[in-house]
Amino acid sequence: MGRKVHPMGFRIGIIRDWQARWYADKHYASFLHADLKLRQAIQSKYSEAGISLLEIDRQANKVTVTIHTSRPGIVIGRGGQRVDE
């Protein structure tokens, strides 16, 4: 009987990249909970935006969130009104 490998887990690092890029020894649990809360908040606020991917990059004092969406007008607003939100 063969072993089944999840296709996304098999391709991470080769074809696809991680959805969250950060490293933490002592604060791993708190960063993970913060990432989950952030993902849930964005998904609930922009549920009709067609978000396909959320990438979170965490550096020393800065968090960068990249949103891949099919309807960017809903996320950034008309004419880019809510870009810095």
CA distances to 10, 80, 83 from 27, in Å: 27, 35, 29
What confidence score (pLDDT) does residue 25 get? 85
pLDDT 10s digits, 62-82: 999 998 999 888 888 877 787
Q: How much is the pLDDT for 17?
A: 77
pLDDT digits (tens, 9 = 90+) for 8-54: 888 887 777 778 888 888 988 998 999 999 999 999 998 888 899 89
74 alpha-carbon distance from chain centroid: 17
In the chain the domains, ranked by start, together with CATH numbers, are 18-76 (3.30.300.20)
